[in-house]
């Protein structure tokens, strides 16, 4: 996911000219090209916990995550887990993860150049002063295969109705710009599984056909998920979270992510995302049915700043291959 705090630049090919603000000079970037990189094999560690871990990731070693907590701890710390019927065994999990991986491969083959209407509500405030800011925005959200390596996932980009780029400077530069939500499901692709721990929490109390899976990335065997940039300093981020899957279709219906552990060394105390998904078909009566983001809530707390973004998506459709370059209209 890509998050941009106003002040400098991004590593994206669509990066705008530098923005200069005296109040905040930071970039927060989770680029999908490195968010879930594909590796040929797992790099696991047989040494004691913490040994062989890059210094940058030492803050995550020993973190007590949703995978480690008892049922009572989960219910106390994560209200969304209340009402779950706890799993009696983890035996079904590996085969179910395999099926999820196959579903993701179908999604990867099916999504080529896709657009959605997006509405964004941005809010930010600085807790050490009375500064407040909010904005509302509507745009087209475009998703297309990663050009350098399609196996990595998708690139995501915003434009107006003519397919012309909406640079971050034309968004609210006083708030965080967030994106990359379609690619979040790649946490569960087969290539990413060696770098993550999983636990089947159980069955939803409201829906017997829904399983809840906890996950946490491994500091000792992890690909880079992203980075928080403070000036020239890069702070690598790892994630944990909860995912809700339909047991009949292996489609993800809901996803929550949080930092594997806070980063006091970077003044980053919170980074959470919650995504709800809805069924999409191309054309409307076509197969297969895909589940894509419908609504996203992002909350970030950094160095006294609180950022809250809500994204809503509708009317998914296909767009022309040149739309992101501003040369063709979105297909109707």
Please say whether the dihedral angle defined by the alpha carbons of residues 171, 173, 178 and 180, taken in this order, is positive or negative: positive
**DSSP assignment string, 269-330:** EEEEEEEEEEEE-SSTT-SS-EEEEEEEEEEEEETTEEEEEEEEEEEEEE--TTGGGTSSPP
Q: Quick check: helix, strand or coil at residue 216?
A: strand
Closest to 5 in 3D by CA, of 23, 14, 96, 119: 23
**284 vs 159 pLDDT, higher one:** 159
Mean predicted confidence (pLDDT) in 85-102: 96
d(CA 127, CA 144) in angstroms, rounded, equals 38
pLDDT for 151: 59
d(CA 165, CA 179) in angstroms, rounded, equals 14
Q: Which helix (H) or strand (E) holds 136?
A: strand 132-145
> Of the ranges 81-85, 107-111, 248-252, 323-327, which one carries the lowest mean pLDDT score?
323-327
Whether the per-residue pLDDT at 273 is higher than 90: the answer is: yes
Closest to 278 in 3D by CA, of 297, 259, 294: 294
Q: How confident is the model at residue 10 (pLDDT cuts 50, 70, 90)?
A: very low
Whether the per-residue pLDDT at 242 is higher than 60: the answer is: yes
Whether the per-residue pLDDT at 310 is higher than 50: the answer is: yes
Beta bridge mates, 239:
259
Q: How confident is the model at residue 20 (pLDDT cuts 50, 70, 90)?
A: very low
**138 vs 170 pLDDT, higher one:** 138
Q: How confident is the model at residue 231 (pLDDT cuts 50, 70, 90)?
A: low
Task: Report the 10 Å Cβ neighbour count for 99.
Answer: 13
pLDDT for 34: 29
The domain limits of the chain are 2-38+88-321
Cis peptide before 283 (omega within 30 of 0): yes
pLDDT for 224: 53
pLDDT for 113: 84
pLDDT for 48: 52
Whether the per-residue pLDDT at 201 is higher than 80: the answer is: yes
Q: How confident is the model at residue 26 (pLDDT cuts 50, 70, 90)?
A: very low
Mean predicted confidence (pLDDT) in 100-115: 88
Mean predicted confidence (pLDDT) in 132-144: 90
Show Cβ contacts of residue 331 under 8 Å, excluding neighbours closer than 6 positions. Answer: 317, 318, 319, 320
pLDDT for 227: 62
Q: How confident is the model at residue 117 (pLDDT cuts 50, 70, 90)?
A: very high
pLDDT for 116: 92
**230 vs 96 pLDDT, higher one:** 96
Show Cβ contacts of residue 177 under 8 Å, excluding neighbours closer than 6 positions. Answer: 2, 3, 4, 168, 171
Q: Could you give the percent of the chain with pLDDT greater than 70?
A: 73
**288 vs 60 pLDDT, higher one:** 60
* Range 2-38+88-321: architecture per CATH: Clam (2.50)
**324 vs 88 pLDDT, higher one:** 88
Mean predicted confidence (pLDDT) in 107-122: 88
pLDDT for 321: 56
Mean predicted confidence (pLDDT) in 260-266: 91
Task: Report the 10 Å Cβ neighbour count for 219.
Answer: 25
**71 vs 149 pLDDT, higher one:** 71
> What is the average pLDDT value for the chain, to the nearest integer?
78
Q: Which helix (H) or strand (E) holds 72?
A: helix 71-77
Q: In what order do the strands lie in the sheet with 233-236?
A: 27-29, 227-230, 233-236
> Of the ranges 168-177, 226-235, 241-250, 264-273, which one carries the lowest mean pLDDT score?
168-177
């Amino acid at each position: 996911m890509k998050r941009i705090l106003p002040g400098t630049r991004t590593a994206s090919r669509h990066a705008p000219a530098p923005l200069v603000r005296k109040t905040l000079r930071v970039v927060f970037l989770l680029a999908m090209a490195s968010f879930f990189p594909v590796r040929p094999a797992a790099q696991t560690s047989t040494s004691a916990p913490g040994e062989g871990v890059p210094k940058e990731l030492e803050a995550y070693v020993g973190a007590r995550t949703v995978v480690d907590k008892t049922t009572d701890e989960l219910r106390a710390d994560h209200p969304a887990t209340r009402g779950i019927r706890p799993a009696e065994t983890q035996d079904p999990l590996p085969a179910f993860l395999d099926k999820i991986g196959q579903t993701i491969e179908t999604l990867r083959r099916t999504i080529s150049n896709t657009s959605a209407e997006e509405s964004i509500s941005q809010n930010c405030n600085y807790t050490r002063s009375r500064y407040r800011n909010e904005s509302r925005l509507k745009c087209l959200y475009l998703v297309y295969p990663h050009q350098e390596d399609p196996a990595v996932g998708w690139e995501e980009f915003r434009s107006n109705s003519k397919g012309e780029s909406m640079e971050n400077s034309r968004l609210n530069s006083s708030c965080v710009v967030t994106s990359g939500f379609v690619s979040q499901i790649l946490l569960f692709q087969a290539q990413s599984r060696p770098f993550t721990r999983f636990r089947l929490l159980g069955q939803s109390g409201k829906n017997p056909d829904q399983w809840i899976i906890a996950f946490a990335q491994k500091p000792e065997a992890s690909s880079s998920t992203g980075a928080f940039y403070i000036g020239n300093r890069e702070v690598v981020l790892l994630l944990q979270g909860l995912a809700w899957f339909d047991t009949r279709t292996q489609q993800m219906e809901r996803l929550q992510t949080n930092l594997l552990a806070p980063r006091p060394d970077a003044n980053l105390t919170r980074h959470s995302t919650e995504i709800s998904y809805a069924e999409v078909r191309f054309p409307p009566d076509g197969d297969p049915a895909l589940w894509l983001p419908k609504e996203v809530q992002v909350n970030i707390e950094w160095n006294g700043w609180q950022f809250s973004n809500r994204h809503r998506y509708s009317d998914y459709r296909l767009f022309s291959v040149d739309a992101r370059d501003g040369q063709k209209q979105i297909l109707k």
